Amino acid sequence: MRKLRNEELGRKSLGDFRNADKLPIIIVLDNVRSFHNVGSVFRSADAFLIEGVYLCGITAKPPHRDINKTALGATESVDWQYFNETFDAVARLKRDNYELLAVEQTESSIALDAFSPDINKKYALVFGHEVNGVDQKVIDVCADSLEIPQTGTKHSLNISVSVGVVIWDFYAKLKAGI
């Protein structure tokens, strides 16, 4: 077996990426404090052709060298917007007919592996602060919450890992339904 060279991977140009059909998903970052996590989210959003990223509250925004370090240029390909308040971002998404889903451990959260996204819906996936999670005020306006099943001693994953897991799950399920 031979490792493929970068030029053999069939990667999209920036123009091709911008013109490509995207998965109807907006990632909402609710006060994510780590620049590296933000950069990683952009990179995952690019990898799976996600519609966009909403950066809210204290979440860092491009351009910033620490975001760029992990984003590897994805801040140039992925559409993004900044909101002072996460609630304003989710209110807009709700008006635009996105189904709001908090990725959070709640009393009635749905295990990610048991959730089936509807190919005819648009989704806004809200990920929260590294310590405090998604703000309760934001959870209150979400249709549901999703939880990544975990069986170890820890109760959470790093935010950038969580985004990657959830996006991959949606990508795989939506592509299988197309």
72 occurs within a structural domain? yes
Assess if residue 13 is contained within a domain. no
In a domain, 40, yes or no: yes
The predicted pLDDT at position 177 comes to 65
In a domain, 58, yes or no: yes
Cβ-based neighbour number of residue 60 at 10 Å: 18
* 81 located within any domain: yes
Structural domain span for residue 111 = 20-177
Q: 44 with 163: CB under 8 angstroms? A: yes
* Residue 167 placed within a domain: yes
Residue 47's CATH number: 3.40.1280.10
Specify the number of domains making up the chain.
Answer: 1
pLDDT at residue 80, rounded to an integer: 97
β-bridge partners, 128 = 30
Q: What angle do CA 123, 128, 134 make, to 5 degrees?
A: 85
Interstrand relation of 144-147 and 98-103 (parallel, antiparallel or unpaired):
parallel
Q: Tell me 129's DSSP state.
A: B
List per-block mean pLDDT (blocks of 10 residues) for the chain, which spans 178 residues.
91 90 96 96 96 97 87 89 98 98 96 96 97 96 97 91 97 81
User: H helices then E strands: how many in the chain?
Assistant: 7, 7
Residue 89 within any structural domain of the chain: yes
Stated pTM of the model: 0.94
pLDDT computed for residue 64 by the predictor = 81
Query: Within a domain: residue 4?
Result: no
Q: For residue 90, give the 3-state DSSP assignment.
A: helix
Helix spans in the chain (H): 14-19, 35-47, 65-71, 74-77, 86-95, 136-139, 159-177
